[in-house]
Amino acid sequence: MKDLESLSATQAIKALAKREIKATNLLLSCLDRIGQKESIVKAWASLGKENALSRARALDKGAFQGLLHGLPIGVKDLYDTYDLPTSYGSPIYANNYPSADAVSVALMRQAGGIILGKTVTTEFATFKSGVTTNPHHSKHTPGGSSSGSAAAVADFMVPLATGSQTAGSIIRPASFCGIVGFKPSFGKVSIAGIKSLSITLDTMGCFGRTIEDVGLGVAAMSGDHRLAKIEALHNKPRIAICKTSNWSLANKETATALAVARHAAEIISKGAVADQKLPKTCDGLAQAQSRIMLSEMSRSLAFEHFHYPKKLSAQLSKQLIEGAQISYEQYAKDLQFANRARASMAELFSNEIDILIAPSATGEAPNIKDGTGDPIFCRGWTLLGLPCININMGNGPNGLPVGIQLIAGLGKDHFLLSAARAFALALPDPVLRDQA
């Protein structure tokens, strides 16, 4: 079997389980791809080649170990790893070697995963651009903060990689890089052993090239193994388009992607798909998310800001000062607002709708000098804690990918995966249907 690095995670696992391929050969193919492209893409903060090869050889000799048996994985450099440095994207932690894995990394290893290396994150998972480039065009951003993970999966360096989202750091990079990104329900994946930015918002997930891939990844990361088996939809889901109150910021390519999405949604819902406005209690979601994030950041990074101010970027220092200026009374009001908005959305999903379709980003990936892109179309869903999945819808005017996101009710992660696969299979382009 040639071109092993091009196998999706699901394809690779099936071949590994049948012993049609060896974990060692799959890993070597990924390493070869990294050798060819890393100087351009710059997706990796560190690689653990020898440990990974040793692990692959042991897996090839032993019994089938679990959901991720023999699968090379990239881990965002926000997650602690006991055998690789963890810098959180900051020079402050350049020589940081944690004594233990993050819970989700430990579970992935337990499931047979091979941790190939740490992927580049922006500084403490914030907004300052890192070194990583978009695999489709090196002058454009891959998005942030999960820059390296999205780029590594999109460029066939690894079939699966972890990410985190506090504003839009899984969905937006997945859209910019043309892959599947899955942000599960808030709390689905443990944040223990991960450098926290905002305890109210931080959500762990992963990137893959198919919907099955990301279901497999989050199944292993969370311990909820039901997610590894996507069931067919048995009923017509109630689907609506939600352009959100920020629709004026969407570029033409995003409007086109949403129009194609509407057609696919009508096929699986067997009826018209209407536009859906969010309840009035959700007015101001993005603004509340931004304040909560800044306020909690100012406390989460208080140690670094006090002891190492000169090692923080000017951009991050400014944000920390802004966050500290938000009164605790305002912060408490925003948390109360979030609770009311979540209750309203629970009612909406219970009584009126099963799936919402919304933009993933304003459009194609911007030029890398202009930053990692605006997370405006993700902020509200992150604050609501709802499961979201990005699906590639084609290319924009510059030939760069454009995605949309599907959103389900809180805790409906398994259903969301089923709906997403049905949706992908209904797309007109056979290449895009391969995401299923």
Tens digit of pLDDT for each residue in 241-300? 999 999 999 999 999 999 999 999 999 999 999 999 999 999 999 999 999 999 999 999
8-228: what CATH class? alpha beta
DSSP H or E run through 415 = helix 413-425
* Burial tier of 158 (Cβ tally within 10 Å: 0-12, 13-18, 19+): buried
| pLDDT attached to residue 404 | 98
Do 107 and 223 meet the contact criterion of CB atoms below 8 Å apart?
yes
Q: Which amino acid is at 132?
A: T
Residue-wise pLDDT for 311-349, tens only, equals 999 999 999 999 999 999 999 999 999 999 999 999 999
**Cα–Cα nearest to 354, from 235, 255, 261, 270:** 235
Q: Environment class of residue 66 by beta-carbon count within 10 Å: exposed (0-12), middle (13-18) or buried (19+)?
A: middle
Catalytic-labelled residue, pool 104, 145, 175, 185: 145
Q: With cut-offs at 50, 70 and 90, classify the pLDDT of residue 2.
A: low
Task: Give the span between the Cα atoms of 153 and 135, in whole angstroms.
Answer: 10
For residues 205 and 184, is the Cβ–Cβ distance under 8 A? Answer: yes
The number of angstroms, rounded, from the C-alpha of 166 to the middle of its chain's C-alpha atoms is: 10
Residue 147: count other Cβ atoms within 10 Å of its Cβ.
34
Task: Delimit the domains of the chain by residue range.
Answer: 8-228, 239-283+330-433
CA distance linking residue 170 with residue 168, whole number of Å: 6
Residue identified by tokens 């017509």 is 236
Active site residue 198: no
**What would the pLDDT profile of 401-416 be if each residue is shown by its tens digit?**
999 999 999 999 999 9
- Active-site annotation holder among 8, 22, 29, 76: 76
Does the annotation mark 169 as catalytic? yes
Please tell me the predicted confidence (pLDDT) of residue 1.
Answer: 60
Model confidence pLDDT, tens digit, residues 100-116: 999 999 999 999 999 99
What share of the chain has pLDDT > 90, as a percent? 99
**Of the residues 87, 90, 164, 169, which is catalytic?**
169
Reduced to 3 states, what is the DSSP secondary structure of residue 55? helix
Residue 334 parent element (H or E): helix 328-351
